Structure 1
Amino acid sequence: MHRILTGQLQVDRLTLKITGLPKNLEGTKLVHLSDFHYDRKRLSEWLLSEAIAITNKVEPDLILLTGDFITDEPTPVDDLVLRLKYLESRAGVYAVLGNHDEKYPGARDKVIEAFTRINVPILLNQVVYPLGSGLALVGLEDYSSGNFKPFTVMESISKTVPRIVLSHNPDTAKVLQTCRVDLQLSGHTHGGQIRLPFLGPLPQFQKPIRRLIPKFLRPVVPFMAKCHKIVEYWEWSQGLHQVGNNYLYVNRGLGTYFPGRLFCPPEVTVITLETN
């Protein structure tokens, strides 16, 4: 995607207080990256290189990737991991799959295998403790995959232990309201790509506008073809939100679909954890 259609990469910083976070994890830094869509059309090499350089400069404790590494055909993931292997963090890099990582036949296995080669675990309804037993990291399968089964893994974690949840689609925050989620990290929406000042993401107006456009024209009008199927809660399409007692952060992603971005730049998120 041409630089003028993508816009300049933005670093968004967030400090979040976590109840029960061990004192030794005070100041823990996370970097969140999402929605690469590395298919040689939707993410440029310069933007990817810049995102990796910014991430490493932060010197994060953990790097967390929330899916859509590819768009359709999975072959480009082999080149993507050759770049992502240069990501540096104290306690590792962890990832979950997005809907596009399972869309094309054979894509799921190929993406998992490629990330295995660079020692980046893809968490499939799993919990790990890369920073010690005082903070759980949960990775969930994609909401639309048929494999999204969060409750067994969530129930396996002690109620006193804070947890960060990686889940590609932010709509899952509604499902997870019954669980303790100190911070959910999601992507999927690209922030809407076009955001109208004071109004929000353009795709949230898609349903009423869609009715005014003849059916034969909808597939060729930007945002009219599929946006109504992407997410239900467009109000959660970027940034920090409280959903019940839980917190959700939605990253605008790195990859960009036509017709590009407006008031919605690609994002590297830096999150600092504090004890509440």
Structure 2
Amino acid sequence: MNNRLLIFMGIFISLVIAIDLYAFKGIRLITENIRPLYRQISIGSFWVFNISVYAALAWLILNFDKFRLPEYTNIIFSINALILMSFVTKLVFNIFHGADDILFLISKTFGTKVSFPGEGMSRGKFLTLMGAGLATIPLSAFAYGYSKGRFNFRVIRKELSFDNLPSAFDGLKVIQISDIHIGSFPKGHGSVEKAVDLINSKKPDVIFFTGDLVNNYASETDGWIEVFKKLKAKHGMYSILGNHDYGDYAQWNSQTEKVANLDNVKNANKDIGFDLLLNENRVLEKDGQKLGIVGVENWGLPPFPQYGNINAAKANLSDDVPFKILLSHDPSHWDAEVRQHKDIDLTLAGHTHGMQFGIEIPGIRWSPVQYRYPRWAGLYEEGKQKLYVNRGFGYHAYAGRIGMDPEITEIILRSKQKNV
């Protein structure tokens, strides 16, 4: 572990302890007048939970070198979720508990008395109790995100109309999935097979998978190939690679070992039944009319690699292919390059996961990931070109999804020519 990381961990641990000690001050305040036994249980439970978090954090630090190994993924992502839950819950609690101390400092500094309208309860205790109540919101959200949210697959349906979609493809049903990250799922977890059944129940014409089958290692697919082989689509299944599929984030004994891993990831795509497009294209033909499917390798803004090549991917597509769908893992590719290619009508991407955290309700659509990726989830349009960003099938970094359920996208293509 390098010195910079040690310094960071030292600061982080100091911050965690400071937050816990301040939260303990608040716990003592709101339990001061309850029966001694109940107070001891409350305080004891607080520290048992915190000691569990410290133990988990210590385990992470001691096993940092194993961070990306498949056999440790589930426990590490679960610990990350526990630490996030603990940190955010106590942060909310401390904001309200600390409000009284801030008001006290203001009154002492400026000689201004800040009054409290309540009777029978101190201002500090009232605010602390309010903080305790509000802290149950993130506590419940993280608990739900871990226990159910990450497995709660939803189908989002979109109808997209295009001037130049050949009439023969009007009503074509496309299913898009992205960011499976299969190594994050507990081995044999039934949610994956249920998701596959859900996809098949839609009777798709085409299935597109827009990358990140694994976290790092091809071995993560062991035991899962047979599950995904059950996917069926009338006109075929097509896939591309995502940034995680290349093994760039793992440590390898040699370049040969890394290349072999990538080859095995490619083979896993093919074993599932995907036609893996590596800067390549395919043409669907129906009633003498054609639709182009273009797939690029991963292209991302730095520090992500740029393996994708649109020109190579479109090579040899004839002029009688009037409509093209591009599969590109990273949505930042769309603004950086794709929009300059006016013959790309629809781009399908993933990568962001919606950060596995956000709010999407009528009138409010927010996730922290939008500050890194302006086009982070859902449909975007510029002129006649459209981009759809899938919120992801799996999860990564922490075991949970809060307000950002795993997504299966159902897209119905509509031809305006059909209605002329």
TM-score, length basis structure 1: 0.82
The residue number in structure 2 matching 1:241 is 380
**Residues 1:262 and 2:407 are matched in the alignment:** no
Q: 1:122 to 1:61 in 2, by over 3 A?
A: same
| Alignment match of 1:154 (pick from 282, 302, 314) | 314
> Does the C-alpha gap of structure 1 residues 3 and 130 become closer, same or farther in structure 2, counting only changes over 3 Å?
farther
Tell me whether 1:49 sits opposite 2:189 in the alignment. no
Q: Which moved more, 1:137-146 or 1:62-71?
A: 137-146
Q: How many angstroms apart in 2 are the aligned matches of 1:84 and 1:245? A: 34
> For residues 43 and 245 of structure 1, do their structure 2 counterparts lie closer, same or farther at Cα, with a shift above 3 Å needed?
farther
Deviation per residue, 1:149-205 (Å, 9 max, x gap): 112333643286111110110111011111122111111000121114535112345
Give the aligned partner of residue 137 of structure 1: 293
In 2, are the aligned partners of 1:96 and 1:168 still within 8 Å (CA)? yes
Partner of 1:11: 155
Please name the residue that 2:392 is paired with.
253
Question: Aligned with 1:253: secondary structure?
Answer: coil
Residue 24 of structure 1, aligned match among 168, 187, 200: 168
C-alpha separation between the residues in 2 aligned to 1:131 and 1:35? Answer: 28
More strand by share: 1
Counterpart-to-counterpart distance in 2, 1:156 and 1:241: 28
CA positional deviation for 1:72:
1.5
Letter of the structure 2 residue corresponding to residue 202 of structure 1: P
Indicate which of 329, 333, 338 corresponds to 1:176. 338
Is the Cα–Cα contact under 8 Å of residues 136 and 163 in structure 1 kept in the other structure? yes
CA contact (8 A) 1:140 1:150 kept: yes
For 2:176 and 2:188, locate their aligned partners in 1 and report how far apart those are by CA, in whole Å. 19
Counterpart amino acid of residue 152 in structure 1? A
Partner of 1:70: 214
Q: What do the CA deviations read for 1:203-238 (whole angstroms, capped 9, x no partner)?
A: 345xxxxxxxxxxxxxxxxxxxxxxxxxx4x22111
SS at match of 2:386: strand
Name structure 1 gaps, 5 residues minimum: 206-231
CA spacing shift, 1:42–1:183, aligned 2, 3 Å:
farther
Decide whether aligned partners of structure 1 residues 7 and 263 sit closer, same or farther in structure 2, where only a CA change above 3 A counts: farther
1:187 corresponds to 2:327: no
Matched, 1:127 2:293: no
Judge conservation of contact 1:21–1:134 (CA < 8 Å) in 2.
no
**How far 1:24 moved relative to its partner?**
1.7
How much does 1:19 deviate? Answer: 2.2
Give the C-alpha shift of residue 273 in structure 1. Answer: 0.6
SS at match of 1:55: helix
Q: Is the 8 A contact 2:166 2:323 kept in 1?
A: no
Q: CA RMSD of the aligned region, Å?
A: 2.2
- Given that residues 91 and 131 in structure 1 are in contact (C-alpha distance below 8 angstroms), is that contact kept between their aligned partners in structure 2? no
CA displacement 1:58-77 (0-9 Å, x = unmatched): 11110110111100222022
Is this contact kept in 1: 2:352–2:369, CA < 8 A? no
Task: Tell me by how many angstroms 1:131 deviates.
Answer: 4.1
AA in 1 matched with 2:309: K
Q: Which has the higher helix share?
A: 2
Change (3 A) 1:41 1:48: closer
The Cα shift of 1:116 comes to 2.4
How far apart, in 2, do the equivalents of 1:43 and 1:246 lie? 40
Take 1:160 and 1:40, find their aligned partners in 2: how far apart are those partners?
39
Map Cα deviations across residues 96-155 of structure 1 (whole Å, 9 max, x no partner). 000100024233211111222344211001110134452100011001444211123336
**Mapped pair 1:36 → 2:180:** yes
AA of the residue aligned to 1:177 = R
Quick one: percent identity of the two aligned structures? 29
Identify if the C-alpha distance between structure 1 residues 42 and 184 changes in structure 2 by more than 3 Å, giving closer, same or farther.
Answer: farther
- CA shift, 1:52, in A, is 0.8
| Paired residue total | 249
Instruction: Kindly indicate whether structure 1 or structure 2 has the higher relative contact order, using CA contacts under 8 Å at least 6 residues apart.
Output: 1
- 1:176/1:100 CA distance change after superposition, 3 Å: same
Residue in 1 aligned with 2:11? none
Distance (Å, rounded) in 1 between the aligned partners of 2:353 and 2:187:
13
Where does residue 262 of structure 2 map in the other structure?
Answer: 108
- The AA in structure 1 aligned to 2:332 is D
Alpha-carbon shift at residue 271 of structure 1 (Å): 0.5
Q: Which residue of 2 aligns with 1:88?
A: 232
Give the match for residue 412 of structure 2: 272
Aligned residue identity for 1:252: R
Measured in 2, the distance between the counterparts of 1:35 and 1:42 equals 16
Distance 1:44 1:196, change over 3 A: farther
TM-score by length of 2: 0.55
Match of 1:212 in 2: none
The 2-side partners of 1:7 and 1:78 are apart by 20
- The 2-side partners of 1:75 and 1:169 are apart by 24
Amino acid at match of 1:181: I
Q: Alpha-carbon deviations, 1:11-56, whole Å to 9, x = none?
A: 1000011222222211110100111111154797322112211111
* Pair 65,131 (structure 1): closer, same or farther in 2 beyond 3 Å: farther
